[in-house]
Chain A
Amino acid sequence: MGAVVLAISVDSPYTHKVWQEGELSKMVDGGLPYPMLSDPGGTIGQLYDVYDREAGVDLRGRFLIDPDGNIQAIEVLAPAIGRNIAEMIRQLKACAHVRGTGEATPAGWEPGKQTLKPEAGLAGKVCEIWAPEMAF
Chain B
Amino acid sequence: MSARVGKPAPDFETTAYMDGEIKKVKLSDFRGKWVMLYFYPGDFTFV
Most buried by A among B16, B36, B46: B36
A110 contacts the other chain (CB 8 A): no
Residue A74 is within 8 A (CB to CB) of chain B in the complex: yes
Interface bits B21-46 vs A (CB < 8 Å: 1, else 0)? 01101011011111111111111111
CA distance A112 to B27 in the complex (A): 32
What bracket does the count of chain A residues touching chain B fall in? 35 or more
CB pair B39–A60 under 8 Å, yes or no, is yes
Task: Choose from B5, B15, B25 the contact partner of A72 (Cβ within 8 Å).
Answer: B5
Given contacts A8-B40, A58-B40, contact A3 B14 (CB under 8 A): no
Asked whether any CB of chain B lies closer than 8 Å to the CB of A135, the reply is: no
Q: How far is the CA of A64 from the CA of B10 in the complex (A)?
A: 12
Chain B interface size, as a band, is 35 or more
Q: Which of A11, A14, A44, A95 is in CB contact (< 8 Å) with B12? A: A44
Min CB distance, A64 to chain B, in Å? 6
Instruction: From B17, B39, B40, give the contact of A48 (CB < 8 A).
Output: B39
Q: How far is the CB of A4 from chain B (nearest CB, A)?
A: 5
A68 within 8 A of B: yes
Verify A5–B32 contact, CB threshold 8 A. no
| Residue A98 lies at the interface, judged by CB distance under 8 Å to chain B | no
Q: List 24 A-B contacts (CB under 8 A).
A: A4-B36, A5-B35, A6-B36, A9-B39, A14-B22, A19-B44, A34-B18, A36-B16, A36-B17, A37-B16, A38-B17, A40-B14, A44-B10, A48-B2, A48-B37, A55-B41, A57-B42, A59-B39, A63-B35, A65-B30, A65-B34, A70-B8, A83-B47, A88-B36
